[in-house]
Amino acid sequence: MPVTVELEKDLSLKQQLLDVVVIHKEPAPLPRRLPDGFEDLAAHNLVTFKSYQEALDGWALNELVGHYVNYRKQISPSMQDLLPETDFRLFAVCIRYPQGLANEIELTPISPGVYDAKHFSGRLRVIVANKLPQEEHNSLLHLFSARMDLLRYGTMHYQQQSQETSQLLMQLLKRYLAEGASMPDSLELLKQFCREADDELRKRWPAKERLAGLTAEERLEGLPAEDRLKGLPAEDRLKGLPAEDRLKGLTSEELLAALPPEIRATLAKRLRDEGLPGSGK
């Protein structure tokens, strides 16, 4: 027959990336209120995120459930001793209301912007950022909104709480910016927020921790050329420079050190032959 049968097929060959995992390490209540829809965290909370340009559809939810199955297997003691399903919650965060998905499955309203949907063995939470109330605990998700009123509210009310969460948020926002926002005004507002947040982050945390989250270009930004070159060997400082610029700013010792060994040997021989000062070096 025109069929092929494969046994024990390895499905781990293609890399799979889940957007966010929130691990609630202790059962103690959190010190501050999370955005609507995240009130009841489990030990492991798997989040898929769809921006304004992406649709939250049935395939996205199937993918989230697939991530959950894989993740549960990986962190359980064994395949015969899986952690209980109650240790896991699934969240699908989207910017705009998923009308196409609502035409296919039932989205049960829980509160403004928050819905529940069934999956094969449980329920998952759908959170629509554009429909969340303008309240301070929702300002984090409003930062990703394409509605200017919500985006402006988010930039005005979101308060950075720690170095780790702030750096994570900056990574998410910069990835969001890389997609290109739907409106130029919202794009510029987000860029301004990222710049100001980065500046505030640098002020609030020790120098060593501030540097840990910066790229090489960001670390060097604003430094004078002479400070950038301090500590570099002469040969490294000369790389990429035009011939006429390579000699500027170097001491005589650095000039000699930058010369190839065979040229230094020739110069030393000439000094000895002519009996000039320094011929013994």
CB 105 within 8 A of CB 118: yes
End-to-end CA distance of the chain: 87
The residues spanned by each domain of the chain are 16-142, 160-221, 225-274
What's the pLDDT at 16? 86
User: Alpha-carbon distance 90 to 203, whole Å?
Assistant: 36
Instruction: Scan for tokens 């957007």, then name that residue.
Output: 19
Rounded to two decimals, the pTM is 0.65
Kindly list the distances between the CA atom of residue 24 and the CA atoms of 89, 216, 268, in Å, as whole numbers in the listed order: 11, 33, 70
What's the pLDDT at 114? 97
User: Alpha-carbon distance 126 to 48, whole Å?
Assistant: 10
Helices (H), 114-241: 139-142, 148-157, 163-179, 184-204, 207-212, 216-220, 225-229, 234-238
What's the pLDDT at 276? 61
**How does pLDDT run along the chain (281 residues), one tens digit per residue?**
999 999 988 888 888 889 999 999 887 888 889 999 999 899 999 999 998 778 899 999 999 999 999 999 999 999 999 999 999 999 999 989 999 999 999 999 999 999 999 988 889 999 999 999 999 999 989 888 777 888 888 878 887 666 566 566 666 666 666 665 555 555 566 666 666 666 665 565 555 555 555 556 655 665 666 665 566 665 565 565 555 555 565 667 767 776 778 887 888 888 887 776 655 55
